[in-house]
Amino acid sequence: MSYLERSRGVVWVTPPSTLGDSDIEQMLAELETQVRSGARYVLIFDLSHAGIPNALQRQKLAAHVRDNDQHIGRAVRSIGVVLTSPLARGMVTAIFWLSPPPVPYQFFTTRAGAAHWAQSLIDAQATA
């Protein structure tokens, strides 16, 4: 099972509702492969139904951002995060505080809002 879905310049990451260590490891491996692929894309994390990572998993997520900072800066145009829970928003804020992404990011309450935003970034790049 893949946690990444690629569609027209957008990479969606949709973690499962129950996050095991193996889920985190697989997701990070997929993200690392994607970020090193050379393609430019908008990255959206759909956390609307995702489980909350434990402290060790949060450290691994923050380390991924820190360790891949240069690759993320070259490949990712911007990051969107879909959140429906204040607890999840706090968790993402903490991860981004520990390891700030090297690209702009924005929070959304709906998948549709994030998709519209991503498409507007792609459209703006196409006309530039």
Domains, the chain, ranges and CATH? 4-127 (3.30.750)
pLDDT of 128: 65
Q: Residues of the chain whose pLDDT is less than 70?
A: 128
Q: What percent of the chain has pLDDT over 70?
A: 99
Alpha helix (H) residue ranges in the chain: 21-35, 55-67, 69-75, 86-98, 111-127
pLDDT in tens, 69-85: 999 999 999 999 999 99
Residue type, 104: P
DSSP SS3 for 74? helix
H or E element, residue 76: strand 76-82
> CA angle, 7 as apex, 109 and 43 as ends, to 5°?
50
